[in-house]
Amino acid sequence: MKVRCPDCDGEIDVPDDAIAGEIVSCPDCGQEYEVYFEDGELKLKPAEMVKEDWGE
């Protein structure tokens, strides 16, 4: 399915069997989004850029 990018309004192709937590990226602006579901609807939220900090 196609979902509108919240950022640039581009079309993001999301697999029909996407599961919560899946990461998709916008072909237009490159922003990465995490799939989640709210009230049975598929939504996107900006993926956290997890910084790996293995400092001691």
| Minimum distance, C-beta of residue 56 to Zn ion, in the bound complex (Å) | 38
- The 8 Å CB, 24+ separation contacts for 44-52 are 44/3, 44/5, 44/6, 44/12, 44/14, 46/6, 46/7, 47/23
Based on CB atoms, which residue is closest to Zn ion, 6 or 36? 6
| Minimum distance, C-beta of residue 35 to Zn ion, in the bound complex (Å) | 15
| Minimum distance, C-beta of residue 3 to Zn ion, in the bound complex (Å) | 10
Based on CB atoms, which residue is closest to Zn ion, 10 or 47? 10
